[in-house]
C-alpha cells in the first residue's frame, strides 16, 4: 500500500524598525538627533512533500475465460483545471503509483518591502517493487488455440481535452507490472525588495522501482492499450501518462519544474531555480511464455495542440523497462 504525505508551511510577514545614525545634526528626530529608519522584510516559505512506497510479492493469479478492462472515457474535459492523479488497473499482481508535490509562494498584494524573500520546495517520489509473482492465463493443458478467452485492455478515449494543470495517469492491463508517475512543481511569484531580493525554488522528483523474479505464462490472451478520440488535445501544463499491456514490465515518468518570477529588480538581487528529475529501475530474472495471443498499443488523434511538459509511454512488450525524465528550471 502507498503512503502519502503533504506539508505546506508559510512564514508570516516580519516587520521591524531600526535606529540609524544619519551622520549629521541637521535632521529632525528623536534619540539625540538620530533618525529612525524603517526596514520591512517580506519572507515566505512553502514546502510540499509526497511519497509512495509499496511492494507486491509472492502472489499467484490464474485466469481463464475472463475479460478485464480499465477504461477512461469522456472525462476531465471542458477545460478542467487543477491537479489530477488517476490510476486504473486490469492486470494481476501489479502496482500503480502517482505522487505529486506542489509548493507555491505568492505575494498576493504585490507589496514592495525593503527586503523581499521567497522560497518554495517541492519533493515527490515513488519506491516500489513487484517480485516473485506468478500468473497463468488460459488453459493449463496444451498450447492449442483457445480463441483468446482472456482479454485485458486499458483505454483512454475522448478525455483530458483542454485540461489545464498537473495531470498524471497510469493505466495497466499487464500482469506482474509496476507503473510510476512522479511530479514536483515549485514556484515563487512575484517577489520584490527595494534594497534586496532573495528568491529561490527547488523541485526534485524521482522514482525507484524493480520488477524481478516473476513468471508469466499467457496463452490465448489478448491485451491492448489505447489512447484516442482527441484525448489530451489542447491540454496545458504537466502531463505524465503510462499505459501498459506487457507482462513483467516497469514504466516510469518523472517531472520536476522550478520557477522564480521577479518584479522590477532591486539594487541587490539573488535568485535561483533548481530542478532535478531522476529514475532508478530494474527488470531482471523474469520469465514470460506467450502463445496464440496478442499485445498491442495504439495512440491516435491525441495530444493535438497540447502545450507544456508532456510525457507519454505505451508498452506491449514483456519484461520491459520504459523511463521518461524531464527537469525544467527558470528565473524570469
In 3D space, the residue among 310, 156, 311, 306 whose CA is nearest the CA of residue 231 turns out to be 156
Other CB atoms within 10 Å distance of the CB of residue 225: 29
Residue 206: CB atoms within 10 A of its CB come to: 23
Compute φ and ψ for 252, nearest 5 degrees. Answer: -140, 135
pLDDT score for 37: 62
The residues, ordered by sequence, that sit 6+ positions from 160 with a Cβ below 8 Å of its Cβ are 75, 76, 77, 80, 167, 169, 231, 232, 235, 239
For residue 217, count CB atoms less than 10 angstroms from its CB and return exposed for 0-12, middle for 13-18, buried for 19 or more.
Answer: buried
Q: How confident is the model at residue 16 (pLDDT cuts 50, 70, 90)?
A: very low
Residue 20 pLDDT greater than 80, yes or no: no
Residues paired with residue 118 on neighbouring β-strands, in sequence order: 44, 199
CB 201 within 8 A of CB 273: yes
**End-to-end Cα, the chain, rounded Å:** 40
Residue 19: pLDDT over 60 = no
The percentage of residues in the chain with a pLDDT greater than 70, rounded to a whole number, is 83
Return the closest-CA partner of residue 226 out of 73, 17, 7.
73
Task: Look up residue 58 and give its three cell numbers.
Answer: 509472492
Which residues, 6+ apart, have CB-to-CB distance to 226 below 8 Å? 153, 154, 155, 156, 157, 243, 297, 298, 299, 300
Q: Is there a contact between 311 and 170 (Cβ–Cβ < 8 Å)?
A: no
At 134-181, the pLDDT tens digits run 998 877 655 455 545 788 899 999 999 999 999 999 999 999 999 999
Percent of the chain whose pLDDT exceeds 90: 57
In whole angstroms, what separates CA 45 from the centre of its chain?
22
Burial of 75 (0-12, 13-18, 19+ CB in 10 A): middle
- What is the distance between the alpha carbons of residues 99 and 254, in angstroms, rounded to a whole number? 10
Residue 102 has what pLDDT?
93
Calculate mean pLDDT across residues 249-277.
Answer: 86
Q: Are 210 and 282 in contact (CB under 8 A)?
A: yes
* pLDDT for the residue numbered 268: 80
pLDDT at 98 over 50: yes
Q: Write down the pLDDT at residue 308.
A: 94
pLDDT digit string, tens, across residues 192-251: 777 888 889 999 999 999 999 999 998 888 889 999 999 999 999 999 999 999 999 999
Alpha carbon of 186 to those of 11, 131, 134: distances in Å?
A: 16, 34, 41
pLDDT at residue 7 is higher than 60: no
> What pLDDT, on a 0 to 100 scale, did the predictor assign at position 110?
58
d(CA 18, CA 89): 62
The pLDDT confidence band at residue 84, using thresholds 50, 70 and 90, is very high
Query: Does residue 5 or residue 289 have the better pLDDT?
Result: 289
For residue 131, pLDDT over 50 is answered with yes
Please give the pLDDT value at position 26: 44
Identify the residue with better confidence: 108 or 194. 194
**pLDDT at residue number 32:** 52
Q: Mean pLDDT score of the chain, rounded to an integer?
A: 83
Q: Would you say how long the chain is, in residues? A: 332
Average pLDDT score over residue span 303-320: 93
Phi and psi at 84, nearest 5°, equal: -135, 125
- State the pTM of this model: 0.83
Amino acid at each position: 500500500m502507498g503512503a502519502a504525505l503533504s506539508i505546506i508551511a508559510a512564514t508570516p510577514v516580519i516587520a521591524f524598525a531600526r535606529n540609524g545614525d544619519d551622520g549629521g545634526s541637521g535632521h529632525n528626530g528623536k534619540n539625540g538627533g538620530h533618525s529612525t529608519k524603517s526596514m520591512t522584510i517580506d519572507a515566505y516559505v512553502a514546502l510540499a512533500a509526497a511519497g509512495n512506497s509499496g511492494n507486491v510479492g509472492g502472489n499467484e493469479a490464474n485466469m481463464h475465460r475472463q475479460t478485464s478492462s480499465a477504461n477512461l472515457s469522456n472525462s476531465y474535459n471542458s477545460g478542467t483545471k487543477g491537479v489530477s492523479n488517476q490510476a486504473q488497473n486490469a492486470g494481476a499482481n501489479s502496482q500503480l503509483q502517482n505522487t505529486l508535490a506542489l509548493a507555491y509562494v505568492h505575494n498576493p498584494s504585490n507589496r514592495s518591502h525593503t527586503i523581499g524573500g521567497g522560497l518554495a520546495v517541492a519533493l515527490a517520489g515513488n519506491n516500489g517493487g513487484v517480485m516473485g509473482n506468478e500468473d497463468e492465463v488460459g488453459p493449463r493443458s496444451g498450447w492449442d488455440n483457445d480463441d483468446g478467452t482472456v482479454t485485458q485492455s486499458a483505454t483512454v478515449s475522448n478525455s483530458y481535452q483542454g485540461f489545464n494543470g498537473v495531470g498524471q495517469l497510469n493505466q495497466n492491463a499487464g500482469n506482474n507490472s509496476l507503473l510510476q508517475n512522479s511530479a514536483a512543481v515549485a514556484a515563487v511569484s512575484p517577489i520584490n525588495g527595494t534594497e534586496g531580493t532573495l528568491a529561490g525554488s527547488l523541485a526534485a522528483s524521482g522514482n525507484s522501482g524493480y520488477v524481478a523474479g516473476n513468471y508469466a505464462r499467457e496463452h490465448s490472451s489478448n491485451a491492448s492499450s489505447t489512447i484516442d478520440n482527441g484525448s489530451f488535445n489542447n491540454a496545458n501544463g504537466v502531463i505524465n501518462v503510462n499505459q501498459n499491456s506487457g507482462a513483467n514490465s516497469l514504466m516510469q515518468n518523472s517531472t520536476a519544474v522550478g520557477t522564480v518570477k521577479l518584479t522590477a529588480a532591486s539594487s541587490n538581487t539573488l535568485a535561483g531555480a533548481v530542478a532535478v528529475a531522476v529514475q532508478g529501475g530494474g527488470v531482471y530474472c523474469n520469465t514470460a511464455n506467450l502463445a496464440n495471443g496478442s499485445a498491442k498499443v495504439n495512440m491516435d488523434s491525441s495530444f493535438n495542440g497540447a502545450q507544456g511538459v508532456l510525457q507519454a509511454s505505451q508498452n506491449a512488450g514483456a519484461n520491459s523497462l520504459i523511463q521518461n525524465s524531464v527537469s525544467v528550471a527558470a528565473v524570469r
